[in-house]
Structure 1
Amino acid sequence: MTSRRKVVVTGFEPFGEHTVNSSWVAVQELKRLGLGDDVDLHVCEVPVEYQAVQSLLPSLWEEHQPELVIHVGVSGLATTLTLEQCGHNKGYKRLDNCRFCPPSQCCMDEGPDCIRSTLDMDQVCRTVNGGNAGITVSVSKDAGRYLCDYTYYTSLYLGQGRSAFIHVPPLGKPYSSQELGRGLQAVIQEMLKQLKEDHSEEQKKDYCNH
């Protein structure tokens, strides 16, 4: 019997003008849809607070030992599902929901400036856009130096790159909660497929080297 794959997906609580945060609405819709019979999906709402992220993320990785953690956030500028390729360590000057910002303006004092996801976001983007998910996907290398970027960098650091970040537009601009949920499902299933193929390639290499 094959073991089930563990995936954690998070969305954010409301903040600023986003009194309903489409990221958490979309994640709840994804939870309803699921990721397939072989995937254990755990979802979590993340506070828009730097210090909460610093305590919550290590416990998520520790408790669930997931194959992949995906964070979903809202961007008022987004009109597509936007896949972020990397997270950044420095430049956090905006105050969070508690009116706090890190004194050092960075995530990890000893961390590298930028960490890339092990996933090839361009490949995920091409595949999903070539399918019939009914949404458009694009790729970005700047997650915005706020809680989204901060969360992503922290997760990439903890998971050694086995993390992804997806920005979604506000509800109705242009997608409904159902469309966002289906879009997340298509994107994450493609990411899991990519991880499986990468793992198979590694096993083949190990076999050939013996």
Structure 2
Amino acid sequence: MDNSKKTVIVTGFGPFGEHTVNASWVAVQEMKKLGLGQDVDLHVHEVPVEYQTVQSLVPSLWERYHPQLVVHVGVSGMATTITLEKCGHNHGYTGLDNCRFCPDSQCCIEGGPECIDSVIDMDSVCKRVSTSGLGVAVSVSKDAGRYLCDYTYYTSLYLSRGRSAFIHVPPLGKPYSGEDLGRALQAIVQEMLELLSQAEDTIPCEHEH
């Protein structure tokens, strides 16, 4: 295994509700075609819109790949821009998933903090990508919506001590194509990796294995 390569996992969600084709998974597949450069080992996964699957899948991705970064992508019917989510929330999960299930506790991790922020400076990512001439509008948000997106993000942030990101994309054609979204994801994730590697250059490394 080439240790100089960074491992990055990007997930999109499967169909739910009126989203019979989920723009997030289309965007992730388009990004996979583009890749993240030769020094990044990119793995993509489609996540079903089910709380219990997320509970087992997210930890298994961290354990299997030991990634530098995990980026979850979801669709928001209200979004008109690509939205970088700053934090995940622990409580307030009352919406039923595709299996008509929601957690009894209505929370992600019992006893976990109410909110976990990503270690990635989303404002900085937003600014850099917005000025890069990509032709896709990017914004920042502090509310990932208290459904599977937020739930997945919080779970990942909790497991990774903040080395996760969440990106909301608008539905296809409103206004961007899958290819547009894929190009934007590529640029955004590359910026995130750049910021993480800069941070690692300034922070003494703590190995915990």
Q: TM-score, normalised by structure 2?
A: 0.96
Query: Residues 80-121 of structure 1, C-alpha deviation per residue, up to 9 Å, x if partnerless?
Result: 110000000000000000000000100001100000000000
Moved over 3 A (4+): none
C-alpha displacement of 1:169: 0.2
CA distance in 2, matches of 1:198, 1:96: 37
Any stretches of 5+ residues in structure 1 without a counterpart?
none
Offset, 1:141: 0.1
Pairs within 5 Å for 1:71-150 = 71-150=72-151
Quick one: distance in 1 between partners of 2:196 and 2:105?
Answer: 34
Partner of residue 153, structure 1: 154
Give the paired residue count: 205
- For 1:12, the aligned partner's letter is F
How much does 1:132 deviate?
Answer: 1.8
Q: For 2:194 and 2:138, how far apart are their aligned partners in 1?
A: 17
Matches within 5 A, 1:39-54: 39-54=40-55
Same amino acid, percent of matched pairs: 69
Q: Residues 2 and 108 (structure 1 numbering): CA distance in 2 closer, same or farther, change over 3 Å?
A: closer
Q: C-alpha distance in 1, partners of 2:201/2:46? A: 33
Give the match for residue 65 of structure 1: 66
How far off its partner does 1:14 sit? 0.3
Relative to the length of structure 1, the TM-score reads: 0.96
1:175 maps onto 2:176 in alignment = yes
- What runs of 5+ residues in structure 2 fail to find an aligned partner? none
* Counterpart in the other structure of 1:193: 194
The alignment partner of 2:62 has SS state of helix
The Cα shift of 1:201 comes to 1.2
> Per the alignment, in what secondary structure is the counterpart of residue 203 of structure 2?
helix
**Distance between the aligned counterparts of 1:2 and 1:107, measured in 2?**
33
Q: Distance in 2 between matches of 1:92 and 1:120?
A: 26
How big is the alpha-carbon RMSD for the aligned residues of Structure 1 and Structure 2? 1.3
* Pairwise CA distance, 1:133: 1.5
Shift of residue 2, structure 1, vs aligned partner: 6.5
